[in-house]
Structure 1
Amino acid sequence: MSRSIKELSLHYDPINESNTFTSGDFVEGRVVLEVTKEVKVDSFFVKLTGDANVRWTEGSGDDQETTYSDHERYFKLKQYFIQKSSKKGKSEKNTTLVDGETYGPVIRPGSHVFPFRFQLPQQNTPPSFEGNHGWVKYVLMVKLSRPWKPTSTTYTELTFVLKNDGTNDHLLQPQAATQDKTMKLFGSGKMSMTATTEKTGYMQGETIRVFVDIDNSSSRDVKLKYSLKQEQTFIARGRTNRGFKHIVKETRDRIPSGEKSKFIVDMTLPRDLTVTIENCRIIKVQYQLKISLDVSFASDPAVTFPVVILSAAQQCPPWQGPPAGFQPYLPPQPSLVPYPGELPPPPSGLYPNLYDPAVLPHPGAAVGVYPNPHAIQSGFHPAPSAPVYDPNQSTKEFSPNVSY
């Protein structure tokens, strides 16, 4: 970072205990900028983007190696703090410009806070995801551009979950299936297995319970096996790249020939298990539950069920407020600066009092009382400069540690 820029940081306000967002939520926060000397700015903005990306390579060697990639953008929201006059009012491709306070192009020495506010679009976008060959990310980024200087940026990620809007009632329906097998080689008789699940959809950390009824009327001993398998699929340029991973894989005690047995199978899901993704064009994450009978030297009778994994945050109770001791930032109080040439320069080291003292809060006035922004001395116009940030007004802030 440039010597003249001491701090450029980005902070957003959590809206629930799980620190997650979903479609329609508001994302509010602030950018803190501290400069050691006066700097001139070409543009200064914060943006919120939602994207999916896949990329993998097949083959080996320069002539045999082929890279497959694809990208999907869901939205790009941008709020300018400072924008070049020549670009004001112009539309930006695939970008939704968000209204907000704009400031003059010169930032004076000191700490300044710039508030922002976005609303996530009401659309069916996939949840946050990081996989072997792709990802879905929702990123807040701030960018500061100055004449003849390197651009300064910083960013953080938001965790996005699917909205629990009551349309997933089908995930509460139980599933059941029966599989029979008649022994012909290396045995005789018949075996039958019926498996029933309580529902189809499960939260991270929840326990999948399966009821299994086995009738082993064959001449062979068998064993009960069950597994939960995750499949990740990445799609690009008509090609697919699939990977499998067993979340659970177990074998239970044997069921002797001629016996009947009933089992209750419990599988506790990891709390950080990747959620199901079915609403992304280039990335799929799906789960399959398999119940089978292990028969030596013969094919195993099996039943399979689809399983949908949901974020535990989707059923969080209403948030009761921020953690104890958390003090949010107070709303910024921008100073008002006259347009150049309208008034003579102030004496060295002094700044004019731009507000009528009668409407200024007296020392010790209640926190949250701010002067009337319309009570301006004659000859001045509301062209705000960067708002000054008082660190004493905040005792704690949220700044998630994110690697990107």
Structure 2
Amino acid sequence: MPSIQALTLTYDALNEEGTFSEGDTLTGKVTLALLKETTVESLFVKAKGDANTHWTTKSGDKTYTHREHKRYFKLKQFLIPVSSKDTVMPRGNHVYNFSFKIPSGSMPSSFKLGHCTIIYMLEVKLCRSWRMDRKEERELRFVSKSIPNLPSLMSPQTGSTKKSVGLFSKGHANMEVTIDRKAYAPGDTVAIVAKVNNSSSSDMTPKFRLHQDIVFRAQGSTKHVSNTILKVSDNCVTAQTQKTVRCSLKIPDVRLSIDNCELISVEYRLQAYLDISFAFDPEVIFQVVILPRDLVHGLQYGVGAGSYPAGAVGGPSNSDFPPAAVSMGPHHAEAFGGPSYSDFPPSAPSVGPYPVSPRSGSHRYPGVQSYSAPPPVYPGNPPVYAGPSGVHPAQPSGGYGYPAPQLASPYGSPFSSSSSVLHPPPTSHPPPSAPTFQPPPEIHPSPPPPFSVSPTAPTYNSLPSAPVMNTDFLSQSDEPPPAYTLLFPSSAPDNSDAK
């Protein structure tokens, strides 16, 4: 009477197709049903991936065998470990869980053609002393997702050809072909647009074919297998005419492309050509890639999103101003946590669509006094003026939203109605921090001047160093200038009194 009733192996599927890829976790269970008490040496589960090529060739009376093997990984987990003494298992059903982590390196997809295979297996083996080993196997469907430059495969492809017709005709044929992308999945449709210019005396027919090329390698030898998957033709293009041909090719359920295996490679090419009688056919060839369906469809959804538009919050912009100033009107970029190009706190006023910043006076020379009227006052928006640079302490690191305390201005009250807005010095790059300006000790609070002073301009005394002349000698007048004797009386003694 046999002691083992059944040994079963099952694994958990990760998707509807039941496929696995690099980096996935493979889980399952092993069920051992015993009819009576049994002594077991070991019980383990093994997962492995291998590539094999094997074919023969003949040369005269001799036959040559070409064979090569490549192992990608082998994982092993003991459910009943090997020990110096066998394990006695009672009668009944014994269930064991297992878990494997598939390596994350690049490995090819599953493939089978004759004796050339890329196969991934899951195996459980029960070992007993003086008995035949009992094992069960399950084949895993592996789909490689290690694709280099994956987003670039969704870009359109364009090719052209121009060729003379031949000896029996005159003229030439010109064809320009465009396909929508390079990567496709089984079931997808290839959209083809071909512009044909038949400047010859012969008729020609546009045709399109999808080829499959398989290459096997072993011990320095190669074997090629080529198949035509499908073929489509269009209407004839008569002599001395032009035509735009639109065609669709539906990809059948074929093998996936393989380009990361040393022993087996699978490639596809799309051929667009003009069938001309008694002449060489001009053709345009495109390399296409067949990938898993979920991978291609995920790329299609991602292409529509695009990048950030220019000037959007968080996206790149070619403007010298903060992006939020353009899109939000009088608001500043500090409201969105972005950098500030101004030396003033975030409450600095804004004029027009752009904030008042050092760049507003970039067309002037440094140190030149600039006159500016205060910003307009709108209902619900009271006027707010900022003091000169250096009045407020430097902003804390990362604190664009913290209002700076209002300290006394050395030039008087900055909130006077007669004062003008003080602009920071022009600069081509934002300063690393707010500049610190120490007012001279001899300047005392006084009414502000009728014009604005640049913070970096040199300090001048408020009183002039020369006497003030009330008479304007440069003004235009019809009156003659005063006599010299009136301005400078003579110091000679008066002789009339002596007489």
TM-score normalized by the length of structure 2: 0.58
Identify which of 50, 63, 66 aligns with 1:65: 63
- Alignment correspondent of 2:230: 248
- Alignment correspondent of 1:8: 7
Preserved contact between residue 20 and residue 313 of structure 1 (Cα < 8 Å): no
Q: Distance in 2 between matches of 1:251 and 1:174?
A: 22
Matches within 5 A, 1:38-53: 38-53=37-52
Preserved contact between residue 4 and residue 35 of structure 1 (Cα < 8 Å): yes
Q: Distance in 2 between matches of 1:201 and 1:132?
A: 27
Deviations 1:294-343 (A, max 9, x none): 111110000101010001143578xxxxxxxxxxxxxxxxxxxxxxxxxx
Preserved contact between residue 161 and residue 313 of structure 1 (Cα < 8 Å): no
- Alignment correspondent of 1:285: 266
Matches within 5 A, 1:66-145: 66-85=64-83, 105-145=87-127
Q: Distance in 2 between matches of 1:162 and 1:210?
A: 28
2:291 corresponds to which letter in structure 1? L
Preserved contact between residue 166 and residue 278 of structure 2 (Cα < 8 Å): no
> What displacement does 1:166 show?
8.4
Preserved contact between residue 207 and residue 274 of structure 2 (Cα < 8 Å): yes
Residues 1:236 and 2:218 aligned together: yes
- Alignment correspondent of 1:174: 156
Flag the structure with more relative contact order, 1 or 2, with Cα contacts below 8 A and sequence separation at least 6.
1
Residues 1:274 and 2:272 aligned together: no
- For structure 1, the residue ranges without an aligned partner over 5 or more in a row are 88-103, 318-404
- Alignment correspondent of 2:21: 22
For the residue of structure 2 that corresponds to 1:3, the secondary structure is coil
Identify which of 246, 270, 278 aligns with 1:264: 246
Matches within 5 A, 1:379-394: none
Preserved contact between residue 166 and residue 280 of structure 2 (Cα < 8 Å): no
For the residue of structure 1 that corresponds to 2:62, the secondary structure is coil
Provide the alpha-carbon RMSD of the alignment.
1.9
For the residue of structure 1 that corresponds to 2:153, the secondary structure is helix
- Alignment correspondent of 1:335: none
> What displacement does 1:135 show?
1.1
Q: Distance in 2 between matches of 1:221 and 1:167?
A: 41
1:39 corresponds to which letter in structure 2? T
- The verdict on how the C-alpha distance between 1:86 and 1:175 changes in structure 2, with shifts beyond 3 A counting, is farther
Residues 1:300 and 2:281 aligned together: yes
- The verdict on how the C-alpha distance between 1:68 and 1:42 changes in structure 2, with shifts beyond 3 A counting, is same
Larger displacement relative to structure 2 (130-139 or 46-55): 130-139
TM-score normalized by the length of structure 1: 0.71
Q: Distance in 2 between matches of 1:224 and 1:315?
A: 28
Residues 1:186 and 2:168 aligned together: yes
Preserved contact between residue 161 and residue 314 of structure 1 (Cα < 8 Å): no
1:309 corresponds to which letter in structure 2? I
Q: Count residues in correspondence.
A: 298
- The verdict on how the C-alpha distance between 1:316 and 1:177 changes in structure 2, with shifts beyond 3 A counting, is closer
> What displacement does 1:106 show?
1.6
- Alignment correspondent of 2:135: 153
